[in-house]
Structure 1
Amino acid sequence: MGGDAYALFQRLGREGRGPVAASAKAAGDLKGQGFALGGGLHRVQERWGQQVRSLVDACAHVAQRMDFTGKVHREDELAVHRVVSSIARLETAFEERSERRGGGGGPGGGGPGGHGPARGKPEGGR
């Protein structure tokens, strides 16, 4: 969306002001010939210019915000990925450790998190 806003910003900057110049010339010609329509066209041309400037500014703002937001979210996603990767590595290490000890890490087995006796201790705790 930020790229589209930037493209629109560029296009409006190039093409949006073209009608302003043509309308200003036409308004001047009409006024010069004594037509009241010249003043009305001049007001429309001024309003068009204001609206184009507002749209150009809005597109620039959207493009900048999307760029900023994209960078922030990319950094957030990288941070989340690092945390999840660390958790996955820990989980893998615990599983490997459990397998080396004879499968004692899960429910029903001995060791941490298990429901049976801890490894090396007789049932009854003596």
Structure 2
Amino acid sequence: MADPEAGAHHGAADLKVNTDELGAVGHDAYVLHGRLARDGDHARASTFDAAIALTNGNFTSGAELLKVHDRWNSQLRTLLDACAQISNHLDYSKAAHAKDDADIGGNLTAVSKISEYFK
């Protein structure tokens, strides 16, 4: 983003969107989501089985391990949702800015054609 003070005083644009950077961050969030979905759930089943076995064996650590299991799943879902939202939002932003640029370009072309008639 450009310096907002420079834009205010010199008539320069004060917002600059680099769609390549948006795309890269969105892609990284997408890749992270995929890896978390696969690898973040790796030990869930065995952790749950161990918690149940410990609980059935009258070990108090079984209930505590089940709490760890549940907390991990909750945090993993939260992180997966955050990655999906980041990826989706940046994809949307990239597309929206491209559409805005095309609309503005089309409007300027139309204005320049109208100006030709006044010459």
Q: Of the candidates 95, 105, 112, which is equivalent to residue 71 of structure 1?
A: 95
How many residues are paired up? Answer: 94
TM-score scaled by structure 2? 0.65
Displacement, 1:52?
Answer: 0.6
4+ residue stretches of structure 1 with deviation over 2 A?
77-90
Are positions 1:6 and 2:30 aligned together? yes
Higher helix share: 2
CA distance in 1, matches of 2:74, 2:44: 10
1:39 to 63, 77, 86: 63
TM-score, normalization by structure 1: 0.62
Q: Which has the higher contact order (CA 8 A, sep 6+)?
A: 2
Superposed CA RMSD = 2.4
State the structure with more CA Rg. 1
Structure 2 unmatched ranges of 5 or more = 1-24
Q: CA deviation digits over 1:70-109, x for unaligned, max 9?
A: 100111222344456678899xx8xxx9xxxxxxxxxxxx
The partner residue of 1:30 within 54, 66, 73 is: 54
